[in-house]
């Protein structure tokens, strides 16, 4: 097959700056969450933001960059505007080794931007203006591309807008029609809250591989008990990867459930992209015939790299890190 | 006085990526230099560039960000376009605490961009498309602003284009007419090569405080001998700060010449901005009544901070670092 994974998501440029908790409180920001904001609020927060760095982001795009860094073959579908930040996004994902052919918007909203405030505890708080990314439409999902990938990987964030949601469902249907697998990340506990009923249907009917962290999976099943959520999820998806920060992950496939320890990290600098890169490692393993525990370890290793520096995409070649770790 | 320092320079957004020496050779890049490129060449190199990070840059702008981080009061004059990268530049310098009021261009070339390739030896190689920055004109230099600053600090890079050069000379004349000091950095050995005769006149007639590294000062006086260059420079400027990388700096004022050791750096990651931040520390010291050696030490301390991470602007509050170091 031509591709290991086809990723579909909101194409976003991140603007990262350090901030303290007092800043989050002063601006009424929900710590640790991804909050959607309108253009005016984004501009207002940007004015208040300390000096930043711009880096390509977007959850599924970060995952695809990770898969490419591991040596996997990937393509990405997402919408930017034909503006400077759109050029940056396109350049970076292609330079990472991921095919990206979605036509940019020629008019309308600017390329999506996420203002990311990183607090001294390495936690990230995201304020996202979706801009052009929400114009991703069903016609942006080419049937031959989806058919050419072992797994189509979708981010839950797409569910936030109707057009992108339609594109999401088309991709899932095309993948299954071609005999391929569909993977989903629940993205964010607030995203799960916004779309719980749809996500429950989606997970039950369309998803083969599910990624979620503890907050997301317990929110989905409206329980505070992780094990209860795990049991529920196990009935719905053939493959599950549930991340638990420094406690590693719990992975499920073919009736087996395994706990995988987290990879060691010298110093956690910025947790932006941790879940995205876990998914990268796991999906690379899954599409390269690795066993379940090896997939979870590879996920943990990639997450450990990305949280050891500022920014949500890998800075070291992950294939070398994986080889050095014997993964 | 309202300001310690008024900085004038090319307003540039940096695009930083890691690259190896083979990349520099394959693309015929002059290692360690700042090379001016046209728009088409910039686009061609960007296509070949690995994934990057965008950060505000510009030599004098970096210096001003450093002065503000030390607690100094500064203003900056430089030209951007009213595009997304121009917004980024304006946001970052203001968020750093520097006044910036130069009107952006409403049409024409895009905001200047410097592609910076950082090799494993932490050396940086810059390919700069000057874009909108060269439209900086004499009318962008307000007399009251220059009169309100103790020192007007200019970068040699301005000399590369006639309009900016006229703006540069106007600023120097206004500063002296108001009884203020003029400081200059020679910027880059190739920049010195391009403008040696003019720079010699400038240094002799208009400059009170001169910054240069070893390669620049020896190029200016066409000698391979640092001490000979130092002797020549001493005759021209009342204050001199000559940087020598890991050998620290040689500082001169009021007939005294002192060698100042470099500040220790755990690991040199990226030398981009080393000279700019040295100038920040030195100028802060000079405008706050510190003695010559203290100025040099403060410069070294700021340079040490900026070379310990990727990017040309300080990431830690320099005032706290300086206090901790007893500087």
The answer to whether A125 and A119 are in contact (CB under 8 A) is yes
Residue A301 host element (H or E)? helix A292-306
Assigned token pair, A300? 């943990």
Summarize pLDDT for A200-218 with one digit per residue, the tens.
999 998 999 999 999 999 9
- Measured CB to CB, residues of chain B less than 8 Å from chain A are 18, 46-47, 49-56, 65, 83-85, 88, 91-93, 95-96, 110, 311, 313, 315
Domain boundaries, chain B: 3-9+58-110+133-324
With a CB cutoff of 8 Å and minimum separation 6, the contacts of B15 are B46, B49, B52, B53, B54, B113, B114, B115, B116
> Closest-CA residue in chain B for A62?
B51
- pLDDT bracket for residue B294 (50, 70, 90): very high
Q: Which CATH superfamily is domain A3-9+58-83+94-104+131-324 in?
A: Ribokinase (3.40.1190.20)
Q: Indicate which of B65, B69, B84, B93 best probes the interface with A, i.e. most A CBs within 10 Å of its own CB.
A: B84
What values do phi and psi take at B202, rounded to 5?
-60, -50
The DSSP output letter for B121 is T
Its pTM stands at 0.95
Minimal Cβ distance to B95: which of A51, A54, A315 = A51
CATH number at B3-9+58-110+133-324: 3.40.1190.20
Q: Are A217 and A242 within 8 A, CB to CB? A: yes
A249-293 residue pLDDT tens = 999 998 899 999 999 999 999 999 999 999 999 999 999 999 999
| Residues of B whose CB is below 8 A from A65 | 51
Rounded to whole angstroms, the Cα distance separating B170 from B149 reads 15
- The CA-atom distances, in angstroms, between A217 and each of A250, B36, B81, B208 are 12, 53, 46, 66
Quote the pLDDT of residue B159: 87
Q: Is A163 exposed, middle or buried (0-12, 13-18, 19+ CB in 10 A)?
A: middle
Nearest to A7 by CA among A127, A162, A175: A175
Nearest-neighbour CA in chain A from B95: distance (Å): 5
Q: Which helix or strand (DSSP H or E) is residue B127 part of?
A: strand B124-129
Q: What is the pLDDT of residue B179?
A: 97
> How far is C-alpha B94 from the chain's CA centre?
17
Residue pair A231/A217 in contact by the 8 Å Cβ criterion? no
Instruction: Answer whether residue B327 shows pLDDT above 80.
Output: no
Indicate if the pLDDT at residue B162 is higher than 90: no
Give the residue numbers in A contacting B (CB under 8 Å), as ranges.
18, 46-47, 49-56, 65, 83-85, 88, 91-93, 95-96, 110, 311, 313, 315
- Do β-strands A99-100 and B3-8 pair in parallel, antiparallel, or remain unpaired? unpaired
Structure tokens at A318: 């992950």
Query: Over the Cα atoms of chain A, what is R_g?
Result: 18
Stretch (H or E) spanning B175: helix B162-177
Contact list, A50 vs chain B (CB under 8 Å) = 95
**Highest mean pLDDT range out of A90-94, A321-325, B1-5?**
A90-94
The minimal CB distance from B88 to the residues A54, A65, A83 is found for: A54
Percent of chain B with pLDDT over 70: 100
Q: What is the mean pLDDT of chain B?
A: 96
CB-CB under 8 Å, A53 with B91:
no
Residue B1 has pLDDT above 80, yes or no: no
Q: Write down the pLDDT at residue B247.
A: 95
Q: How far apart are CA B296 and CA B289, in angstroms?
A: 13
What is the tens place of the pLDDT at every residue in A79-98?
999 999 999 999 999 999 99
Q: What is the pLDDT of residue B260?
A: 97
The reported pLDDT for the residue numbered B254 is: 87
* Mean pLDDT confidence for A185-192: 92
Beta strands (DSSP E) in chain A are 3-8, 12-18, 34-36, 53-56, 74-77, 99-100, 112-118, 124-129, 149-155, 181-185, 209-213, 239-243, 249-253, 256-260
CB contact under 8 A, B47 and A83: no
pLDDT at B141: 97
ipTM of the complex as predicted: 0.93
3-state SS class at B149: strand
For position A211, what pLDDT does the model report?
98
């Amino acid at each position: 097959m031509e591709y290991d994974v086809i990723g579909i998501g909101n194409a976003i440029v991140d603007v990262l700056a350090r901030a303290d908790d007092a800043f989050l409180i002063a601006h009424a920001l929900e710590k640790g969450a991804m909050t959607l904001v309108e253009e005016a609020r984004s501009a207002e927060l940007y004015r208040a933001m300390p000096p930043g760095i711009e880096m390509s982001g977007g959850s599924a795009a970060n995952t695809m960059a990770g898969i490419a860094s591991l040596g996997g073959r990937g393509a990405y579908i997402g919408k930017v505007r034909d503006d400077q930040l759109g050029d940056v996004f396109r350049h970076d994902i292609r330079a990472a080794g991921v095919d990206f052919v979605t036509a940019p918007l020629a008019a309308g909203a600017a390329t999506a931007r996420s203002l990311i405030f990183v607090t001294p505890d390495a936690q990230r708080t995201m304020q996202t203006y979706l801009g052009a990314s929400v114009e991703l439409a069903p016609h942006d999902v080419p049937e031959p591309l989806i058919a050419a990938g072992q797994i189509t990987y979708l981010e839950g964030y797409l569910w936030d807008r109707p057009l992108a949601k339609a594109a999401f469902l088309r991709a899932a249907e095309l993948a299954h029609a071609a005999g391929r697998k569909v993977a989903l990340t629940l993205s964010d506990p607030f995203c799960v809250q916004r779309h719980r009923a749809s996500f429950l249907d989606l997970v039950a009917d369309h998803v083969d591989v599910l990624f979620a962290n503890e907050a997301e999976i317990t929110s989905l099943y409206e329980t505070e008990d992780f094990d209860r959520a795990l049991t529920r999820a196990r009935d719905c998806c053939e493959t599950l990867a549930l991340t638990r920060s420094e406690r590693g992950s719990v992975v499920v496939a073919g009736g087996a459930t395994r706990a995988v320890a987290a990879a060691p990290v010298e110093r956690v600098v910025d947790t932006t992209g941790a879940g995205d890169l876990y998914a990268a490692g796991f999906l690379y393993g899954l599409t390269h015939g690795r066993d379940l525990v090896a997939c979870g370890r590879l996920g943990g290793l990639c997450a450990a790299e990305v949280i050891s520096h500022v920014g949500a995409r890998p800075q070291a070649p992950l294939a070398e890190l994986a080889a050095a770790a014997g993964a």
